[in-house]
Amino acid sequence: MPIDICVIGFGNIGREFVKQILNYNEFLREKHGLNLKIVGLADSSGTIVKKNGFSKNELLKLLTIPRGSLAKVNISGIKKFANAVEAFDSLEPEKTIVIEVTPSNYVNGEPAKTHLLEAFKKGFHAVTANKGPLALYFNEIIGEARRDNVEFRFKATVMAGTPLIDYLSYGYFGRNIEKVYGIINATTNYILNKMYEKEVSFEEALRKAQVEGYAEPDPSLDIDGWDPAAKISIISGILGNHIPVHNVVRVSLRETALDEVLKAKREGYMIKYIASYDSLTGEARVEPKRVKADSYIAKVRGSRNLVVVESDGGLKTVVEGPGGGPKPTSLTILSDVALIAAKVMGK
Ligand SMILES: NC(=O)c1ccc[n+]([C@@H]2O[C@H](COP(=O)([O-])OP(=O)(O)OC[C@H]3O[C@@H](n4cnc5c(N)ncnc54)[C@H](OP(=O)(O)O)[C@@H]3O)[C@@H](O)[C@H]2O)c1
């Protein structure tokens, strides 16, 4: 049985995911006996559905269209809908996986929250990289997926190119994770590394980060800590005590002066933007903190992330890997999709 895929959000991640489906389809068929086909694509202009699946050539062509123009596409056999939810009636329950990759919204989680909850109601499985709905409403979203008896995975929401979420969800089953802390935002890490190494101000380091593509033109979600706060909030949810993103103690990086960075440097420390969750106190925080200059946390560079996990019995493990970027994120989404497809097909 082929598994149908509907991708909601056709930007950086949605498009890269379609490329990776084309790259991996044969491997997934040969290695795991999975047959995945893309039947729906949505952007802010509208949704297109092709019941029997888009061909490889059609997908390659769609990857070249400008953003926000799916509604204008003409391909024979497609149906057009004003939005993703309207298209849901034309998709098949039980064999459809919805991929939700619209922008993360920390005010009300929309439009992703509605996309996910409506998909669950229709009996579709779902995978997301979108942090908004889970950072705000973790228990509600997971509860609805369970009630509607569908599979829901979200490994790419935290440390997007690294399977940290599976590690935290299953690796310690039956045990207690006491603390999780580390670097889960590459933009702020880049800025602090530049301030330390080049001895430049926060503003100068931010400008360099924007030139090199590490920071958005509007960098506030990163430098004010919303992105790492959302991720640590999701981690707290996985560990069974969800702290909504607005309750995470959050100190903006804007408050870190070069003087502080240089004083720490003279004393053998680096300042790092650390996200932490402590299951014993039930507190989640995001803040600039001193770490020893020769510690593994101090050595994290580029787009990599690093998280330390402290568990019962005084054990400590470290997970390090890609923190994001279209290709790592899409490959992580693909892994979640393959897991669901294998389960649905009884593999
Ligand atoms: N980029 C990364 O490395 C990364 C890593 C981990 C997680 N994520 C998460 O992945 C998600 C996608 O990121 P991205 O970089 O791909 O963002 P993006 O490039 O801004 O793409 C977002 C897409 O969502 C579409 N969209 C917006 N509102 C919509 C609606 N109501 N219905 C259907 N589509 C809608 C946009 O449409 P238009 O094209 O018409 O504007 C666009 O195609 C975000 O939640 C982000 O936080 C990203």
Average pLDDT for 138-163: 98
Ligand 1: distance of its center to the CA of 14 in Å?
Answer: 7
Is CATH 3.40.50.720 correct for 3-159+327-344? yes
231 is catalytic: yes
Look at residues 310, 240, 255 and name the one whose alpha carbon lies nearest to residue 286: 255
Token reading at 59? 């997908």
Residue 10 Cβ inside 6 Å of ligand 1? The answer reads yes
Helix (H, G, I), strand (E, B) or coil at 182: strand
Ligand 1, residue 47: give the atom nearest the CA.
33
Give the CA count within 13 Å in the CB-facing half-sphere of 177. 26
Token duo for residue 308: 């330390």
pLDDT confidence of residue 305: 98
- For the segment 305-319, what is each residue's pLDDT rounded down to a tens digit? 999 999 999 999 999
From the CA of 8, how far away is ligand 1's center (Å)?
8
Could you list the beta-strand ranges (E) of 66-215.
79-81, 96-100, 125-128, 152-153, 177-183
Looking at the chain, the whole-number percentage of residues with pLDDT higher than 90 is: 98
* Catalytic residue (one of 231, 265, 292, 347): 231
Question: Which of the four CATH numbers 3.40.605.10, 3.40.50.20, 3.30.360.10, 3.40.30.10 does domain 168-323 have?
Answer: 3.30.360.10
Mean of the pLDDT values across residues 118-138? 98
Phi, psi of 43 (to 5 degrees): -130, -165
> Considering only CA atoms, which of 274, 286, 256 is closest in space to residue 196?
256
Report how far ligand 1's centroid is from the alpha carbon of 110 (Å). 12
Rounded to 5 degrees, φ, ψ at 242 are -65, 125
- Record the tokens describing residue 80, joined without a space: 């057009």
Residue length of the chain? 347
CA nearest neighbour of 275 among 161, 107, 158: 158
d(CA 317, CA 302): 21
Other CB atoms closer than 10 Å to residue 281's CB: what's the count? 10
pLDDT band at residue 21 under the 50/70/90 scheme: very high
| Closest protein CA for atom 33 of ligand 1 | 43
pLDDT digits (tens, 9 = 90+) for 79-101: 999 999 999 999 999 899 999 99
Ligand 1 atom 42 nearest Cα:
11
**Residue 255's pLDDT is what?**
85
Compute, in angstroms, the gap from residue 103 CA to the centroid of ligand 1.
4
Tokens of 265: 């440097």
Ligand 1, residue 70: give the atom nearest the CA.
40
Q: Is the pLDDT of residue 334 over 90?
A: yes
Residue that the structure tokens 């300042």 belong to: 271
For ligand 1, atom 12, name the residue with the nearest CA.
101
- Residues 34, 46 contacting (CB under 8 angstroms): no
| pTM exceeds 0.95, yes or no | yes
Alpha-carbon distances of 51 from 6, 77, 338, rounded to whole Å:
11, 8, 20
Q: Kindly report the protein residue whose alpha carbon is nearest to atom 19 of ligand 1.
A: 11
For residue 314, the Cα-to-chain-centroid distance in whole angstroms is 30
Domain parsing of the chain, residue ranges: 3-159+327-344, 168-323
**Residue 153's pLDDT band (cuts 50, 70, 90):** very high
